[in-house]
Amino acid sequence: MRATLAQNAALRQLDQLKDDFVASVSHEFRTPLTAIDGYIELLDDDRERLDPEHREYVSVIRSSAARLVRLVSDLLVVAALQARPNQIRRDVVDVSSLVRDSADAITPLIRYREVTVQCEVNPNLTVLGDASQLSQLVDNLLSNAAKFTREGFVTVRAFREGDAVRIDVADTGIGIAAADLQVIFERFSRTEHAISQMIPGTGLGLFVAREIADAHGATLFVESHQGEGSTFSLLLPVAETSVGAPDPDGP
């Protein structure tokens, strides 16, 4: 019995060391990534002076840096939620601005595709929560939609629904097979289609989105059919400062 307890304690300590290491390394990555992103912006400002080949190089660097930033952000959120699972900030968050900023942020991901980002956001929507984490949640849903959409639309909507603020992220992408719908929110989960098509990803984005939603007492769910696109929906408890009548039919 004592041996089992000691072994369990050692495993918990090892798991904690792993989490601490991931958090520490992720923080260390942030500084050089910020510098890289800054220099990419400088190069992008001078795109007209670059020949087509070098413009393509800049695009590849930008895309790769953006993937690293998202990965580091996901790891930091997971570390924070595991370290302080019941200590979520409860600030008043302007959902309207948050969603618009996230929609603007995915533009580099679809710059060279036949994809249009549509943003349909009702004004004066507020919730209580951690603005940084909620922004990460919406970023992950939008980047996931952009990643699997080669042409058509990525649409984000935000509106009041009863006692909640609802955010929908819809796309006209490849959709999700019924069997995969049961596992896409699990850690490191990747669909067979994504793997076979060599679509990049770590399987952390949707897991992190679900973790943030759960920590905020929110509901995150998806409706999708393979070949017909997907719609991820988030229901967040409304803050008392939200104005405007409930709109059960959406925007």
Instruction: Delineate the domains of the chain, giving CATH numbers in brackets.
Output: 2-83 (1.10.287), 91-237 (3.30.565.10)
pLDDT given at position 154: 94
Are 151 and 172 in contact by the 8 Å Cβ rule? The answer is yes
Are 215 and 85 in contact by the 8 Å Cβ rule? The answer is yes
Alpha helices (H) in 148-229, listed in sequence order: 192-196, 205-215
Size of the chain in residues: 251
pLDDT given at position 22: 53
pLDDT given at position 132: 86
Using left for φ > 0, alpha for ψ between -120 and 50, and beta otherwise, residue 129 falls in left
In terms of C-beta density within 10 A (0-12 exposed, 13-18 middle, 19 or more buried), how is residue 98 classed? buried
pLDDT given at position 156: 95
Distance of CA 174 to the CA centre of its chain: 18
Rounded-to-5 percentages of helix, strand, coil across the chain: 55, 20, 25
| Residue 162 DSSP label | T
pLDDT given at position 236: 94
Are 29 and 68 in contact by the 8 Å Cβ rule? The answer is yes
pLDDT given at position 98: 93
With a CB cutoff of 8 Å and minimum separation 6, the contacts of 221 are: 232, 233
pLDDT given at position 248: 42
pLDDT given at position 119: 93
pLDDT given at position 178: 86
Alpha helices (H) in the chain, listed in sequence order: 2-45, 52-83, 95-105, 131-147, 192-196, 205-215
Are 101 and 135 in contact by the 8 Å Cβ rule? The answer is yes
With a CB cutoff of 8 Å and minimum separation 6, the contacts of 123 are: 96, 244
pLDDT given at position 120: 94
With H, G, I as helix, E, B as strand and everything else as coil, classify residue 164: strand
**Which residues of the chain carry a pLDDT beneath 70?**
1-31, 33, 63, 67, 79-87, 112, 191-202, 240-251
pLDDT given at position 220: 96
